[in-house]
Amino acid sequence: MAEPLNPGQHRALVGALADGDWHSGADLSETFGISRAALGKRIDALGAFGLQVERRHGTGYRLQTRLDLLDTDAIATPAGWRLELQPVTGSTNSDLLARDAAEDPQALLAEYQQGGRGRRGRQWVSPFGHSLMLSAAWSFPTWPRDLGCLPLAVGVCAAEALAGQGIGEVLLKWPNDLYARGRKLGGILLEHRGETGGACRIVIGIGLNVRPFADGQAPDQPWIAADQLRDTPVDRNALAAALLSQLAAMLAAYADTGFAPWRGRWQARDLTLDRKVNVLGPGAPWQGIARGIDTQGALQVEVDGQLKPLHSGEVSVRMETPR
């Protein structure tokens, strides 16, 4: 079994192989000052991060997929924000939740999450360097109105950031998923701390598929990557900058405006509008026709001519067929 790499070893080895070219074992061993046997063990350890390395006798090693690594120096950060990058971490949301709110607003990027979380406790896993995994922390001095609608506004931010990078097919599935061509492109997880009437701190987690998954790495649901939605590879640093810019502007205004300015933009991207949906939650599953969201962000589902509002966190909504 391959021994785990410490962060420094991992960062150095991935950086050396990131160009996707062949690198001889002799050169890599000399670069890192280790034996060929030790190098082989480090190469084997990369498999734990979803990285596939080709080996060829007499030639050396190369990554099957070229990586463009994230670089905070290449990411334009909104004024007043602190941005940090962790090559490998457990969960960017958990990391920010544990940090001092006095440092907000702050954002954290990761190339790989070992314990990434989605809605309703689902795991979010992606190979190293293939996705954009970003969490942002923001502190409101008082409990903001329409807090329950905030994930919907975040979805609009993500969709519009993607559109700015030439990816204009993104639709939003209530309450926190991004879809394109009927397949999942990304998801949102929002967590908050505070007491009603007092200060409120939120941490927003966003995960976007950027590079396509290799065989055996794909999640157990229909998926799509941003690279499949345009002719040239997406610049992950540019996408991170665009997403941070959208989030910063929205969060700075949200306490005053609430969800109202974002509702129409969300509805314009509503994936389930006028479609049959299956509603899963406490009790037996049931069906209805999705009729958009109300001013409180609740999904309106028509059953026998009556509208029933669904609130995020209570249920899961699934479409019968992809668009």
- Looking up residue 136, the CATH number of its domain turns out to be 3.30.930.10
Same domain, 183 and 294: no
Tell me: do 217 and 199 sit in the same domain: yes
187 and 43 together in one domain: no
One domain, residues 159 and 92 = yes
Query: What is the side-by-side order of every strand in the sheet holding 177-180?
Result: 82-89, 106-113, 131-140, 200-209, 183-194, 177-180, 171-173
Please give the structure tokens belonging to residue 128: 């190293």
Q: What is the pLDDT of residues 32-86, one digit of tens each?
A: 899 999 999 889 888 878 788 899 998 999 988 888 899 999 999 999 999 999 9
Taking the C-alpha atoms of residue 105 and residue 204, their distance in angstroms, rounded to an integer, is 11
Instruction: For residues 184 and 145, state if they share a domain.
Output: yes
Residue 1 included in any domain: no
Q: What pTM value is reported for the model?
A: 0.88
Same domain, yes or no: 284 and 203: no
239 found inside a domain:
yes
Range of the structural domain that residue 237 is part of: 72-267
Spatial separation of the C-alpha atoms in residues 126 and 50, rounded to whole Å: 7
The answer to whether residue 119 is catalytic is yes
Q: Is the domain of 216 the same as that of 164?
A: yes
Which two three-digit tokens encode residue 115? 């314990």
Q: What pLDDT shows up at residue 222?
A: 83
Q: Is 184 part of the annotated catalytic residue set?
A: yes
Active-site entry in 11, 62, 183, 184 = 184
Q: Based on the fold, state whether residues 240 and 306 are members of the same structural domain.
A: no
* Within a domain: 2: no
> Do 187 and 95 share a structural domain?
yes
Residue 318 annotated in active site: yes
Q: Which residues contact 282 (CB under 8 A, 6 or more apart)?
A: 314
Whether residue 239 sits in one domain with residue 133 = yes
Instruction: Mark whether 188 and 306 lie in a shared domain.
Output: no
Question: Which CATH number is 55's domain given?
Answer: 1.10.10.10
Would 114 be classed as within a structural domain?
Answer: yes
Considering the domain boundaries, does residue 308 fall inside one?
yes
pLDDT in tens, 89-116: 999 999 999 999 999 999 999 999 886 5
Closest CA to 263 of 214, 312, 232, 296: 296
Tokens 């440092």 -> residue:
103
Residue among 119, 211, 236, 263 flagged as catalytic: 119
Structural domain includes residue 285: yes
CA pseudo-torsion sign 93, 313, 186, 254? negative
* Total domain count, the chain: 3
For each of the chain's 323 residues, which pLDDT tens digit applies? 555 667 777 778 988 998 889 999 999 999 989 999 999 988 988 887 878 889 999 899 998 888 889 999 999 999 999 999 998 899 999 999 999 999 999 999 999 988 655 544 555 567 888 899 999 999 999 988 899 999 999 999 999 999 999 998 999 999 999 999 999 999 999 999 877 667 899 999 999 999 987 655 556 678 899 999 999 999 999 999 999 999 999 999 999 999 999 999 999 999 999 999 988 877 778 889 999 999 999 999 999 999 999 887 656 777 665 44
Q: Which of 82, 122, 193, 318 is catalytic?
A: 318
Q: Are residues 191 and 56 in the same domain?
A: no
